[in-house]
Amino acid sequence: MQYVRLGYRQRVVYLARVKGGVGATTLALNLAWRVSEKAKVLLIDTRAAILGFLVCSDVLDILGVEPFEQSEWETPRVLQLSDNLYFLPYPSTHEKYDLDRVVLEARRDYDAIIVDLPPLIATDDTLKSASAVVFLYGGGASEGRRLLRLINHCRTQYQKEAVYVSTVHQPLLNLHKEGENSDWIHLPRGRIKGGIFDAKDLAGRAITEIIREVWGKDLESEKQGFFARMFRGS
């Protein structure tokens, strides 16, 4: 038995930043939440922890969901958060941690996969499996220099689709100098209820803009049927 998704280009979106505490998990969660209104989404937290039998994750904390139980010896399991939103705590400390493989397997089952990464300190292969990268910038000077290195590495090595998001209104990091038409999307602090931005305030509208950049028209018309699946074989 095999399901094939029709009329929909799958997206694997990685959230990249070089600094802690810039709001990455909040952004990842809000993107996942909003996209899940139209498509089946898996949100992966690569920095979750399984302590004894308890799964701990910033995603669950932000949502106010009670930690759930799972043994640290078994492969992390997917938790359903809502109708179309699924969550996988896949700690990078897990002995079988291999993000590329986890993403590859998830591609069979989800329309969109959103990966919340820790701050990236090296320009390595972490972003390899992404189809789009959302770079998140908190506004700092040395942070900007490091982020630019990461952006350029990603551009030259992988030519990924990229979206640039800044939590400050006038970022010190000037993308135009790099000879591209890229621009920043400003993600201000917003009102948060249960971890989710109010869709009508500026933060909520920034989410709309990011989604439009990554998904384009794909998420706008439901008529194409994101869930249209073809039943093949038996």
Kindly write out the interface string for residues 10-49 of this chain, putting x where it contacts Mg ion by CB under 5 A and - elsewhere: --------------xx------------------------
The interface with ligand ATP within residues 203-222 (CB under 6 A) comprises: 203
CB 38 within 8 A of CB 11: no
Identified binder of ligand ATP from the candidate list 1, 20, 179, 223, rule CB under 6 A: 20
Tokens of 178: 């790099």
| Nearest alpha-carbon partner for 44 in 94, 83, 79 | 79
203 binds, among Mg ion, ligand ATP, none (CB under 5 to 8 A by kind): ligand ATP
Residue 192 in contact with ligand ATP, rule: CB under 6 A = yes
- Buried b / exposed e over 56-65, threshold 16 CB at 10 Å, is bbbbbebbee
Q: Which of 112, 136 has the CB closer to Mg ion?
A: 136
CB of 200 to ligand ATP, least distance (A): 14
Identified binder of ligand ATP from the candidate list 13, 16, 22, 32, rule CB under 6 A: 22
Longest dimension (CA), the chain: 57
Residue 25 in contact with ligand ATP, rule: CB under 6 A = yes
DSSP code for 128: G
Residue 199 burial (10 A CB sphere; 0-12, 13-18, 19+)? middle
Residue 190 in contact with ligand ATP, rule: CB under 6 A = yes
Residue 24 in contact with ligand ATP, rule: CB under 6 A = yes
Q: Which stretch binds ligand ATP (CB under 6 A): 21-29, 36-44, 103-111, 152-160?
A: 21-29
41 backbone dihedrals φ, ψ, rounded to 5°: -120, 140
CB of 160 to Mg ion, least distance (A): 21
- Residue position matching structure tokens 């094939």: 4
Amino acid at 98: D
Residue 26 in contact with ligand ATP, rule: CB under 6 A = yes
Tokens of 181: 């038409």
136 membership: H or E segment, kind and range: strand 132-137
Residue 187 in contact with ligand ATP, rule: CB under 6 A = yes
Residue ranges in contact with Mg ion by CB under 5 A:
24-25, 58
Binding footprint of ligand ATP on the chain (CB under 6 A) = 20-26, 58, 62, 119, 187, 189-190, 192, 203
